[in-house]
């Protein structure tokens, strides 16, 4: 079997149990697995090997972005300066999705995945849309690893507002279609794709739907992903409707479990923290979305406490309509810097912990840590190579500090998933960027016009 060998890596960040950083390191890939990790001098190169030069590079386990709405990519900026959570969701984001067709969704997913590949991301978790099949098709083309889900809303009227026409379904239909999607796509693309159930936003899901969703996930042996405790508006809405917050409600309904991945999670109390710990619930934080949308998830959040309790934490970019970019490495700086500021403590979250959130933490959150999240023999060959020969990296006294405090996803040079090279030397090999950008521009213009948001996205400065 042909091998790919990455040699002369300046800093090989293994994130293995010993958390080793190997200088002048090397990796050997055969098929979809890593077969050797060590010093370059220890690796015997064969004439038939495909050699990737690692000099001037830092190697990481493939980067996870555990909160990405692929379908929202064409609505970039549509969530800007929304005055509340209900305004953003009910009158902006979901309106855009409600006006999309399958062609829009496929284009959006391709564009989202190009952006992620260019940011060094190898694996994403999508919390759901009505276009799971189109997201799967884009993953087939791009070569990325990921998880998809289908939205299940069965409440058109909520305390927060009314959902767009056609953006919710009868309970039976929603469950049946989600179950069909999971049965079709889970484990597809040679195991690169997972399919989970989505509860999207609990306030628009009935108790009956959530209970039955939980049973379906148990039956299929998959996870559930959804937003919770996202902002003050949603917490208030949950208390007004159910007399309790999201976490207490999910506990009552039986959803809190190790296969549940909750997103944002900024507005929780100490009692809810212990519920999460008891059930080993997984968490994805999206600091850029919180900052952009004024959610308060960093100033009110409990990330350091979650880490102390042993919860699995990861990072997500959310969407082009919420944080406005898909770059997990930038998220790492924001969660570290944001918590330093909020807690007035420059050691409350160390850069090494942020690297864990990008890698092994992401793998744990997606129930993939047996195969992913570290550079070890036998694990899947998902690898991110970052170019350190850039002004923002130099000089390098501490590569982990530079990675979190100085770098960004644009430093990504090479991205490998399942042993296949998706980007090399900064060139994406799996998707045609030029044609994609032209199509996206045309589709986005038409979509925003149909959604009636042309004035919403316009600059307050005149454009002539």
pLDDT at 169: 95
Across the range 388-407, mean pLDDT stands at 98
264 is written with which tokens? Answer: 């944002």
pLDDT, mean of residues 415-431: 98
- Give the start-to-end residue ranges of the domains of the chain: 3-62+374-428, 63-365
User: Computed over its alpha carbons, how large is the radius of gyration of the chain?
Assistant: 21
Average pLDDT over the chain reads 96
Say whether 416 sits in a helix, a strand or coil: strand
SS3 60: strand
Query: Half-sphere exposure (CA, 13 Å, Cβ side) for 215?
Result: 9
CB 464: neighbour CB atoms within 10 A? Answer: 2
Could you read off the pLDDT of 343-396 as tens digits, one per residue?
999 999 999 999 999 999 999 999 999 999 999 999 999 999 999 999 999 999
pLDDT of residue 49: 96
Long-range pairs for 243-249: beta carbons < 8 A, 24 or more residues apart: 245/269, 245/272, 246/202, 247/272, 247/275, 247/276, 248/272, 248/275, 249/202
Which fold would CATH assign to domain 63-365?
Answer: TIM Barrel (3.20.20)
Strands 3-13 and 57-61: parallel
> What is the pLDDT, as a whole number, of residue 83?
83
Lowest-pLDDT range of 84-88, 115-119, 227-231: 84-88
pLDDT in tens, 254-277: 999 999 999 999 999 999 999 999
For the segment 327-343, the average pLDDT, to the nearest whole number, is 98
CB 404 within 8 A of CB 396: no
How does residue 85 score in pLDDT terms, banded at 50, 70 and 90? Answer: confident
Checking if the pLDDT of 95 tops 90, the result is yes
Q: Is the pLDDT of residue 1 over 90?
A: no
Q: What is the pLDDT of residue 84?
A: 86
- Given pLDDT bands bounded at 50, 70 and 90, which one contains residue 86? confident
Q: What percent of the chain has pLDDT over 70?
A: 100
pLDDT digits (tens, 9 = 90+) for 169-192: 999 999 999 999 999 999 999 999
Q: What is the mean pLDDT of residues 323-352?
A: 97
Per CATH, the number for 3-62+374-428 is: 2.30.40.10
Percent of the chain with pLDDT strictly greater than 90: 96
- pLDDT, position 162: 92
Average pLDDT over residues 127-135: 97
Which pLDDT band, with edges at 50, 70 and 90, does 166 fall under?
A: confident
pLDDT at residue 410 greater than cutoff 90: yes
Q: Residues 24-60: pLDDT tens digits?
A: 999 999 999 999 999 999 999 999 999 999 999 999 9
């Amino acid at each position: 079997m042909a091998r790919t060998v990455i040699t002369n890596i300046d800093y090989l960040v293994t994130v293995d149990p010993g958390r080793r950083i190997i200088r002048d390191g090397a990796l050997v890939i055969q098929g979809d697995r890593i077969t050797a990790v060590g010093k370059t001098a220890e690796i015997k190169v064969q004439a038939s090997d495909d050699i990737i030069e690692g000099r001037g590079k830092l190697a990481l386990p493939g980067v996870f972005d555990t909160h990405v709405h692929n379908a929202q990519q064409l609505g970039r900026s549509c969530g800007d300066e929304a005055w509340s959570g209900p305004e953003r969701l009910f009158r902006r984001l979901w309106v855009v999705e409600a006006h999309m067709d399958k062609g829009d969704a496929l284009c959006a997913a391709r564009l989202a995945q190009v952006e992620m590949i260019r940011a060094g991301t190898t694996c994403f978790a999508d919390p759901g849309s009505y276009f799971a099949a189109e997201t799967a098709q884009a993953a087939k083309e791009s070569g990325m690893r990921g998880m998809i889900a289908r939205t299940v809303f069965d409440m058109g009227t909520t305390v927060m507002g009314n959902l767009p026409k056609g953006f919710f379904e009868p309970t039976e239909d929603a469950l049946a279609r989600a179950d069909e999607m999971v049965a079709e796509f889970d484990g597809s693309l040679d195991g690169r794709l997972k399919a989970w159930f989505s509860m999207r936003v609990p306030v628009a899901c009935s108790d009956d739907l959530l209970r039955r969703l939980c049973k379906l996930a148990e039956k299929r042996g998959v996870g559930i992903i959804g937003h919770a405790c996202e902002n003050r508006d949603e917490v208030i809405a949950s208390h007004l409707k159910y007399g309790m917050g999201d976490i207490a409600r999910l506990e009552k309904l039986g959803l809190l479990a190790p296969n549940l991945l909750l997103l944002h999670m900024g507005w929780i109390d100490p009692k809810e923290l212990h519920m999460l710990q008891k059930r080993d619930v997984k968490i994805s934080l999206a600091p850029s979305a919180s900052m952009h949308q004024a959610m308060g998830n960093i100033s009110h959040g409990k990330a350091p406490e979650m880490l102390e309790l042993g919860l699995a934490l990861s990072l997500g970019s959310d969407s082009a309509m919420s944080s406005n970019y898909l770059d997990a490495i930038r998220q790492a700086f924001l969660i570290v810097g944001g918590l330093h500021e909020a807690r007035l403590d420059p050691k409350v979250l160390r850069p090494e912990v942020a690297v864990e959130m990008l890698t092994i933490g992401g793998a744990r959150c997606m129930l993939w840590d047996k195969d992913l999240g570290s550079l070890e023999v036998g694990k899947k060959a998902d690898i991110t190579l970052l170019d350190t020969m850039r002004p923002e990296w130099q000089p390098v006294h501490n590569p982990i500090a530079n990675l979190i405090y100085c770098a960004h996803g644009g430093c990504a040079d090479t991205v490998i998933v399942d042993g296949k090279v998706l980007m090399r030397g900064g060139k994406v090999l799996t998707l045609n960027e030029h044609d994609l950008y032209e199509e996206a521009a045309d589709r986005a213009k038409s979509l925003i016009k149909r959604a009636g948001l042309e004035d919403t996205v316009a600059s307050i400065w005149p454009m002539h």
